[in-house]
Amino acid sequence: MFEHFSLAPPDAILGLNSAFEKDPRVGKLNLTVGVYKDEAGRTPILESVKLAEAKIFQEQKSKGYLPIEGGKDYIDQVNRLVLGEGFEFGRVATAHTPGGTGALRAGADTLASVAPHGRFWISNPTWANHAAVFQAAGFETQSYCYLNAAKTGLDFEGMLSQIQQAGQAGDIVCLHACCHNPTGIDPSVQEWKQIAELLAKKRMLPFLDFAYQGFGDGLVEDSKPLSILMEHHPELVVCASFSKNFGLYSERVGALMMISESAKSTESVLSQIRLAIRCNYSNPPRHGEAIVAKVLSDPELSVRWRSEVDQMRSRIHSMRSALIQGMESRGKDFGFLAAQKGMFSYTGLNPMQADWLKKEKGIYIVGTGRINVAGLTSASMDIVCDGIAEACAI
């Protein structure tokens, strides 16, 4: 039967990453996949993580299976980090999932079993994998406007009017809680309030992809959209990832959180999440979960980690400013990047220009024009600015 398999296209992001690995050119630059790099161009293991691992190595007694939803320590710590200390935790059913993608899929699978007729709304553009994940769970996807025609800011009116006109009660709306991927363009606080009000009026369920907590304005600041939505929505889904803010990309640590109107529903919701997980990957991996739980529960490690997140955020910020300046000194106005947040920026380059950068300069960016700002360094800045300036001219 396998001889009838056709060759699937490479993944829009990870496929480029593989192509980069195979590229023999010296001096090639990878600005594709969202992985943080330090000034030396390395993706470091955080100090807080290393210290937590040393403690875990001493203390861990077993590698037995975890509960389907993950361990209690992890769940308690993660609830507090993501939802804030003042949250009524009895209302949330939380499960450790393998990464943020695992949370998106487990959340969509859980919803599919109880609300299969809703449609999933995703922004245009959005993370290259969103539609595939929600469709694989059996949902039809619809997209809502996000970028203005110049690709420099949010088309807020377009977004609202499209949802107002075509959204139906029971539809699910995937929103990026902060650091929108791929554009880096987030709604303002006032705009979040209007989004929350509209979705509540339309009886649509907010489903938040929260993969970059701490990379926008700060760990607490970045969860502001959650509290705005919670003021208008008794029910909410949050998919958190700790790949980026803990640098635990390959450990696959994330969390699915389904918030109900009252604590009465939480056990039933959790039982449905367990069903979705059990028939998929059965139960979560232990190591990444142990690291996150250890860092967050140990006061000293927690302080150290928070400062490491601050350092990563401020380095990304300085790279974005340097990119704007570098383009300005080459006669190109990239000032619109200043309002973008998080790892990514939308440069406005088209797929042909992105392909030219790859072939001619060995600079890999995603075909949509997205670059991983967190992958830039002072040493690579001039090369990248020269490449982009040349690409703009073709």
Residues designated catalytic: 127, 209, 244
State which of residues 13, 16, 236, 322 lies at the interface with ligand LMR (CB under 6 A).
Answer: 13
Provide, rounded to whole angstroms, the least separation between the CB of residue 32 and ligand LMR.
Answer: 7
Give the separation between CA 34 and CA 372, rounded to whole angstroms.
6
User: Quick check: 142 binds ligand LMR (CB under 6 A)?
Assistant: no
Provide, rounded to whole angstroms, the least separation between the CB of residue 202 and ligand LMR.
Answer: 28
State which of residues 181, 213, 266, 345 lies at the interface with ligand LMR (CB under 6 A).
Answer: 181
| H-only helix segments in the chain | 14-22, 47-59, 72-83, 99-114, 130-136, 156-166, 189-202, 224-232, 266-278, 286-297, 299-328, 351-356, 378-392
User: Quick check: 254 binds ligand LMR (CB under 6 A)?
Assistant: no
Q: Using the minimum distance from each CB to ligand LMR, give the nearer residue, 355 or 390.
A: 355
Provide, rounded to whole angstroms, the least separation between the CB of residue 242 and ligand LMR.
Answer: 13
Q: What is the CA radius of gyration of the chain?
A: 21
Of 236, 233, 181, nearest in space to 207 by CA: 236
Give the separation between CA 347 and CA 363, rounded to whole angstroms.
14
Provide, rounded to whole angstroms, the least separation between the CB of residue 380 and ligand LMR.
Answer: 18
Three-state SS at 206: strand
Provide, rounded to whole angstroms, the least separation between the CB of residue 116 and ligand LMR.
Answer: 26
Q: How far is CA 99 from CA 122, 192, 255, 367, in A?
A: 19, 26, 7, 24
User: Quick check: 213 binds ligand LMR (CB under 6 A)?
Assistant: no
> Dihedral, CA atoms, 157, 111, 260, 87, nearest 10 degrees?
-70
Q: Using the minimum distance from each CB to ligand LMR, give the nearer residue, 127 or 246.
A: 127
User: Quick check: 34 binds ligand LMR (CB under 6 A)?
Assistant: yes
How many residues sit in the footprint of ligand LMR (CB under 6 A)? Answer: 6
User: Quick check: 36 binds ligand LMR (CB under 6 A)?
Assistant: no
Q: Using the minimum distance from each CB to ligand LMR, give the nearer residue, 33 or 93.
A: 33
- Closest CB to ligand LMR: residue number: 34
State which of residues 36, 127, 210, 334 lies at the interface with ligand LMR (CB under 6 A).
Answer: 127
User: Quick check: 102 binds ligand LMR (CB under 6 A)?
Assistant: no
Residue 345 belongs to what H/E stretch? strand 344-346
Indicate the angle between helix axes 299-328 and 286-297, nearest 10 degrees.
Answer: 100
State which of residues 33, 133, 175, 257 lies at the interface with ligand LMR (CB under 6 A).
Answer: 33
The burial class, CB within 10 Å (0-12 / 13-18 / 19+), for 313 is buried
Q: Using the minimum distance from each CB to ligand LMR, give the nearer residue, 34 or 98.
A: 34
Q: Using the minimum distance from each CB to ligand LMR, give the nearer residue, 119 or 180.
A: 180
Sheet with 254-259, side-by-side order of all strands: 92-97, 254-259, 236-241, 205-210, 172-176, 120-124, 141-145
Q: Using the minimum distance from each CB to ligand LMR, give the nearer residue, 127 or 305.
A: 127
Give phi and psi for 80, each to the nearest 5: -70, -40
Provide, rounded to whole angstroms, the least separation between the CB of residue 129 and ligand LMR.
Answer: 6
Give the separation between CA 86 and CA 259, rounded to whole angstroms.
14
- Which residues form the interface with ligand LMR (CB under 6 A)? 13, 33-34, 127, 129, 181
